[in-house]
Amino acid sequence: MKKAILLSACALTIFIAGCSKNNSNPTNNNTNVTEANVLTSFATTVVNPNYADINAKAAVMNTAVATFVATPTDANLKAIQTAWKDTRAAWESCEGFLFGPVEDFNYDPTMDSWPVSKNDIDGLLADNSNALSPTDLANLQNDNLIGFHAIEYIVFGVGSTQKAANITAREKVYLTSLSQNLYNTTLQLKNSWDPSQSNYTAQFTTAGTGSTTYKTRLDAFKALVGSMADICDEVGTSKMQEPLTSNGGKPDSTLDESSFSHNSVTDFKNNITGIRNAYLCTYGGKTGSVSLSAFVASKNASLDNKLQTQMNAAIASFATITTTYEKAIYTQKSQIQAVQAAIATLHDSIENDLNAFIVANVKD
Amino acid sequence: MKRLRVIGFLGVIIVMLVECRKAAVFPATQYNDELSAGDETVFMSTSKSFSNAYPGLSGYDVYVHSLGDAVFSRTFVTAPAPVNSGLGPIYNNNSCISCHHNDGIGLPTAGELQSSLLVRISQPGTDPNGGPVAVPDYGLQLQDKAVFGVPPECKINIAYTNQTYAFDDGETYELRAPTYTLSNLYTPITGSYLLSPRLAPPMIGLGLLEAIPESQILKGEDPTDANGDGIKGHANYVWDATTQTRQLGRFGWKANTATILTQVVTAFNQDIGLTTSVMPVESSKGQSQYDNRYDDPEIPDSLLNAVKFYAQTLAVPARRNTVDATVKRGEALFMQAKCGTCHKQTFTTAVDVTKPYQSNQVIHPYTDMLVHDMGPGLADNRPDYLANGQEWRTAPLWGLGLFETVNYPGYYLHDGRARSVVEAIMWHGGEAAQSKAYFTHLSKADRTAVLAFLASL
């Protein structure tokens, strides 16, 4: 009998433990927390505004470039650098959910291929027969010569030492076209989800009820959750890891993505912030009515708490890297590894727990 | 007390059920129709469903797969460069994923950023190893891009002619017939030449196809149509550049490549312009674009092996809706139409104790790994070893239902001319003419059922 009690106690313990993991008491009685509303809120509060923001920021950069070309002062160069970082922040944020047209129509590699091909850029600038118009650049069909990092190469320079006086007339023409092309791509990206344009929003929000891309609602949820997990993986095990050890186990700052601008740590952090934006359904200070977080919380509050805690922890951990990533890979390795660990923890929770949750709970 | 015990045990069961939900490795004993690739099946139907490692890999193998994944995603640039050096000087694209986007089938355009179509070229005749004959100054593949300052070999122009046809019940469909022409040649081509366009194929399950015993593939051969079913498959035997031996061809649209390693080094060399220890000579050697640099091999063996391993260990997504009545009906019609004679449903991979993850797996690739005459409509008229100008390898159909999701809007066949599965079916000819005719005669409902079955793959 004693044994039986012990066994029951054991079972009960597991039961309680199990219950705390799978809270059956909804903490959110909001009846709007439906799967369809989660998708709609995400599309209207996060995706469309984020893409519109990238486009708006790219327009600001275009203006800054024009101002600089007309009046090439260091202050005006600085304004381009700021505009680049602002555009970059909006872009890195949307990398928290890389699925749909951004992939299908290759807007990502068109804007964000890395590394730049310095040899080819030098050759292109030296070849006066090329007028370097936006069309000329597009016709080169080489994504190593265009996009964010080509602009970064010109406006920041190697080691972030660029001066207005060093930028040649040819480089100014090149820069103007690069910025224009980037703007054009951000406009295409924005239009791809815009309900008044190509309206991928409808594909996503009608998942399981007529969408040809997402046959079930679960497919749409999986696309979202899968993309959140993917960017964790890319930041933690690729973008951060490769500069750390790819040079035969030793650090190599040339493997660092935004090394000209020293913006890498900010890039990484904005990627993870993008994940949190998607999860909490928030962008630019506005929050959607029904977030994925609320949907999770309505059925499993502890999972929602865990995910939020881990997202916050991963984002906060970047503050421990107190220098540029190019230096940190030599001097702050343990801090970097702690950030990577926080991201890995978040990744596993998204890929395993959140994924299992949606598989179990998203019904069509 | 007893009640408490019951509740306790129920609790255990609930916890077990909750924790069992995660799709992971399925033991072979729980085998079902959804498992396209045995233990190496993944339950995913999103745009990333072709990009998963085999579920059964060890921790170290996962590391090597991830390393290969990173190189597969790497964008290469003109040498010399501190990072990812060695692109070109002539090439088709600057990374593996530019063509194998999401590890899926490519985009049938040429010369653009994300183009995934390349064109093979050769002179009539055969070389000493029985393969196609290289064209002087061009080799066996046209590189239509080049690093800055040197000319690409040519521009590839694709033009389509649309024609409308009808099923027996009157419903119409349209096929677009491509023509391929070359312009902007960097140097004239002397004599006649043959062209064959090839679209980047999906990457899933390649290691499993490599693990099918040769004897099992040869069992399906019927080169003289001894059984009188109108279908005459035969194996393609090809010269393998890595081992310098003649081997069974398994990969490529005409089964002209024996192993994944050779496929990978050939793609590095010909598509991206990267040299390896297996193919240490630049594709441009002897041409005006050659860079004269002593930097070969540009890809070290460690990374080459990682990419090879990556290509060998991409899991196959599970089938969906396998118990749906329409899907079942479509599957029966697929068999009745004799589609399944070439698109052979099942193989069992070889026992291999060094690779437990792909050893002795029951897989459903829907290919016999043989080449068949597909008629003049699809012909490239360019022989490739034992595959003549009308013969193509039976394309594996696993993952077919996800092409649209993984590579929107989805293209089909060796050059992506088909924009839907229906068009792909209606391009079939030659040995498959009877199956196509069967499909043409079907009612709308039955055609829909066949398509539902194919969409479930």
pLDDT in tens, A76-109: 999 999 999 999 999 999 999 999 999 888 899 8
**Between A and B, how many CB-CB pairs are < 8 A?**
143
pLDDT of A280 over the 50 cut: yes
Q: CB of B313 within 8 Å of any CB in chain A?
A: no
Q: CB of A284 within 8 Å of any CB in chain B?
A: no
Q: CB of A231 within 8 Å of any CB in chain B?
A: no
Q: What local confidence, expressed as pLDDT, does residue A4 receive? A: 43
Q: CB of B351 within 8 Å of any CB in chain A?
A: no
Q: Which fold has domain A31-361?
A: A middle domain of Talin 1 (1.20.1420)
Give chain B's radius of gyration (CA, Å): 23
The total of other beta-carbon atoms located within 10 Å of residue A301's CB is 16
Name the closest residue on chain B to residue A119, using Cα atoms.
B78
| Spatial CA neighbour of B207 closest among B50, B80, B357 | B357
Name the closest residue on chain B to residue A2, using Cα atoms.
B1
- Cα separations in angstroms, A281 against A7, A278, A314, B325, B438: 44, 5, 18, 39, 51
For chain B, 457 residues long, give each residue's pLDDT as a single digit of tens.
Answer: 455 565 555 555 554 555 555 555 655 555 688 999 999 999 988 888 999 999 989 999 999 999 999 999 999 999 998 889 999 999 999 999 999 999 999 999 998 888 999 999 999 999 999 999 999 999 999 999 999 999 999 999 999 999 999 999 999 999 999 999 999 999 999 899 999 999 999 999 999 999 999 999 999 999 999 999 999 999 999 999 999 999 999 999 999 999 999 999 999 999 999 999 999 999 999 999 999 988 889 999 999 999 999 999 999 999 999 999 999 999 999 999 999 999 999 999 999 999 999 999 999 999 999 999 999 999 999 999 999 999 999 999 999 999 998 998 899 999 999 999 999 999 999 999 999 999 999 999 999 999 999 999 9
Could you give the 3-state DSSP secondary structure of residue A79?
A: helix
Are the Cβ atoms of A11 and B11 closer than 8 angstroms? Answer: yes
Are the Cβ atoms of B94 and A141 closer than 8 angstroms? Answer: no
Give CA–CA dist B132/B126, Å, rounded.
5
Helices (H), B171-233: 206-210, 214-219
B1 within a domain of the structure (yes/no): no
| CB contacts, 8 Å: A1 with chain B | 1
Q: ipTM more than 0.95? A: no
B57 within a domain of the structure (yes/no): yes
Give the minimum alpha-carbon distance from B456 to chain A in angstroms, rounded to a whole number: 12
Q: Which residues contact A153 (CB under 8 A, 6 or more apart)?
A: A116, A118, A121, A260
Are the Cβ atoms of B148 and A5 closer than 8 angstroms? Answer: no
Closest Cβ opposite residue B5 in set A8, A213, A238: A8
Q: Which residues contact B22 (CB under 8 A, 6 or more apart)?
A: A352, A355, A356
The DSSP H or E segment spanning B372 is strand B371-373
| CB contacts, 8 Å: B50 with chain A | none
pLDDT-derived band of residue A7, with 50, 70 and 90 as boundaries?
A: very low
Domain count within chain B: 1
Q: What is the DSSP letter of A45?
A: I
Give CA–CA dist B270/B351, Å, rounded.
33
Two structure tokens written together for B54 = 């085999």
Give CA–CA dist A154/A160, Å, rounded.
10
B386 within a domain of the structure (yes/no): yes
| Spatial CA neighbour of A79 closest among A155, A191, A11, A167 | A155
Give CA–CA dist A17/A253, Å, rounded.
46
Q: What local confidence, expressed as pLDDT, does residue B25 receive? A: 60
Q: Which residue has the tokens 């265009």?
A: A146
As a whole number, mean pLDDT of residues A200-214 equals 93
Give CA–CA dist B449/A162, Å, rounded.
63
Q: CB of B306 within 8 Å of any CB in chain A?
A: no
Name the closest residue on chain A to residue B82, using Cα atoms.
A254
Q: What is the DSSP letter of B211?
A: T
> For residue range A266-278, what is the model confidence (pLDDT) as tens digits?
999 999 999 999 9
Closest Cβ opposite residue A14 in set B1, B15, B46: B15
The total of other beta-carbon atoms located within 10 Å of residue A26's CB is 13
Cis peptide before B151 (omega within 30 of 0): no
Give CA–CA dist B259/A206, Å, rounded.
44
Q: Domain range for residue B52?
A: 24-455
Give contacts of A 13-42 with B, CB under 8 A. Answer: 14-19, 21-22
**Residue extents of the structural domains in chain A:** 31-361
Q: Where are the beta strands (DSSP E) in chain A?
A: 282-283, 286-287
Residue of B18, B113, B451 to mutate for A, most A C-beta atoms under 10 A: B113
Q: CB of B45 within 8 Å of any CB in chain A?
A: yes
Cis peptide before A115 (omega within 30 of 0): yes
Q: CB of A126 within 8 Å of any CB in chain B?
A: no
Could you give the 3-state DSSP secondary structure of residue B80?
A: coil
Q: Specify whether the CB–CB gap between B88 and B324 falls below 8 A.
A: no
| CB contacts, 8 Å: A188 with chain B | none
Give CA–CA dist B432/B373, Å, rounded.
8
Q: Which residues contact B304 (CB under 8 A, 6 or more apart)?
A: B264, B265, B268, B276, B277, B278
Q: Which residues contact B239 (CB under 8 A, 6 or more apart)?
A: B129, B130, B131, B245, B246, B385
Give the minimum alpha-carbon distance from A233 to chain B in angstroms, rounded to a whole number: 10
Q: Which residue has the tokens 């069909």?
A: A141
Amino acid (one-letter) located at B217 = I
Are the Cβ atoms of B5 and A4 closer than 8 angstroms? Answer: yes
* CA terminus-to-terminus distance, chain A: 47
Give contacts of A 208-227 with B, CB under 8 A. Answer: 213, 215, 219, 222-223, 226-227
As a whole number, mean pLDDT of residues A1-26 equals 43
Are the Cβ atoms of A12 and B15 closer than 8 angstroms? Answer: no
The DSSP H or E segment spanning A331 is helix A325-331
Give contacts of B 390-429 with A, CB under 8 A. Answer: 404-405, 407-409
Are the Cβ atoms of A115 and B75 closer than 8 angstroms? Answer: yes
Closest Cβ opposite residue A14 in set B5, B11, B113: B11
Two structure tokens written together for B162 = 């649309």
Percent of chain A with pLDDT over 70: 91
Two structure tokens written together for A253 = 């700052």
- Reported as half-sphere exposure (CB side, CA atoms, 13 A), residue B436 has a value of 17
Give CA–CA dist B375/A165, Å, rounded.
66
> What's the sign of the alpha-carbon dihedral A141, A142, A148, A151?
negative
| Spatial CA neighbour of A150 closest among A125, A186, A187 | A125
The residues with which B135 forms a beta bridge, in sequence order, are B139
Are the Cβ atoms of A142 and B7 closer than 8 angstroms? Answer: no
Q: Specify whether the CB–CB gap between B257 and B409 falls below 8 A.
A: no
What are the b/e assignments for A125-150, b being 16+ CB within 10 Å?
beeeebebebeebbebbbbbbbbbbb
Percent of chain A with pLDDT over 90: 79
Could you give the 3-state DSSP secondary structure of residue B338?
A: coil
B6 within a domain of the structure (yes/no): no
Residue of A1, A106, A117 to mutate for B, most B C-beta atoms under 10 A: A117
Give the minimum alpha-carbon distance from B98 to chain A in angstroms, rounded to a whole number: 9
Give CA–CA dist B383/A300, Å, rounded.
61
Q: What local confidence, expressed as pLDDT, does residue A347 receive? A: 96
Give CA–CA dist A343/A316, Å, rounded.
11
What average pLDDT does the structure give for chain A?
90
Q: What local confidence, expressed as pLDDT, does residue A16 receive? A: 42
Q: Specify whether the CB–CB gap between A264 and A273 falls below 8 A.
A: no
Two structure tokens written together for B329 = 């009906």
Give CA–CA dist A91/A110, Å, rounded.
13
Give CA–CA dist A139/A120, Å, rounded.
14
Name the closest residue on chain A to residue B320, using Cα atoms.
A215
